[in-house]
A = this chain, B = another copy of it.
Amino acid sequence: RKMEDYGRFLALLASTLLVGFLSVILSLVWVFHYREGLSWDGSLGEFNWHPVLIITGFVFIQGIAIIVYRLPWTWKCSKLLMKFIHAGLNTIAMILAIVSMVAVFDFHNARNIPNMYSLHSWIGLAAVIFYSLQLFLGFAVFLLPFAPVHLRVALMPIHVYSGLTIFATVIATALMGITEKLIFALKNPAYSASPPEATLVNCLGILLVIFGSLILWMASRPHWKRPPAENAKILRPIAATPEGTEVESTMTNSNADKSDLRGNTEAVRKQNIKFDEAGQRSTM
């Protein structure tokens, strides 16, 4: 049963990577076959860095960064190493997103096109700001060794939620950007005449939605989480009781269905229940 589940995870991961690579390739086909290619001279070739870098960095690399803890062959690596990889991939994604924004501002300024007027630009800029904040806070709280355990436990659900929400928002913003670009760029034949470029880029948009959905599915399955590690021992608040060890051993047996933090709060909750029960029994 466990091998079957492992196979299912691998199949899903392979599909996700395939859809992600295909998206990057389609963005390159769009830019090189139908548009002006890539350059850095204030021309449309500079603008074209925007979709390519957003899809490569802000969608594909961010997506991989989100599920990097789920890869079963990394479970023997230390949690710290995995945190560095998670933070590193997100840093690369952030840099690419910022460079891709610079490309658009540069292009707009060279052509006297106003900046920041569209809903795409408003939500996109907000997404980059929140993403940077998330990265900074994640670094300060979960990677640096200074934050106390109760703060990490309290912030982890918020970190997960805001990470996934920002990721979804980035994909939504990419879809708006595709819509804008196709309307502006396609004249004679127009977007509404469905030329091959329109069909190709619509398919790119669909792939982005599928990629996002697959990442969110893999990230939200509790039984695909990295199993609780030894640091659960450090985190466990009530260490003196023999029941503590019992609870932990059952956690390790139940395996792979809780992250260390969630597993830990779960253990604490179970212990509290046990204490409650004990209390009730003694008053009975």
Chain A interface residues (CB < 8 Å from chain B): 113-114, 117-120, 122-123, 126, 157, 161, 165, 168-169, 171-173, 175-176, 178-180, 182-184, 191-194, 198, 201-202, 205-206, 209, 213, 216-217, 220-221, 250, 253-254, 257, 269, 273, 276-277
Contacts and interface: CB of A to CB of B under 8 A. Distances in A.
Given A114-B193, A171-B172, A183-B183, 20 more contacts: A113-B192, A118-B182, A119-B202, A119-B206, A122-B202, A122-B205, A123-B175, A123-B206, A161-B220, A168-B168, A169-B209, A172-B175, A172-B209, A175-B176, A179-B179, A179-B180, A183-B184, A253-B276, A253-B277, A257-B269
Nearest to A195: B117
Contact of A178 (B119, B173, B182, B217): B119
12 contacts: A117-B193, A119-B179, A119-B201, A119-B202, A122-B206, A123-B206, A126-B206, A165-B216, A168-B168, A180-B183, A183-B184, A253-B277
A257 B266 CA distance: 11
A253 B278 CA distance: 13
Nearest to A221: B157
Contacts of A182: 118-119
A57 B139 CA distance: 40
B118 A191 contact: yes
B209 A123 contact: yes
A222 to B, nearest CB: 9
Contacts of A169: 209
A84 to B, nearest CB: 27
Contacts of A269: 254, 257
Contacts of A123: 175, 205-206, 209
A206 B175 CA distance: 15
B276 A119 contact: no
A153 to B, nearest CB: 13
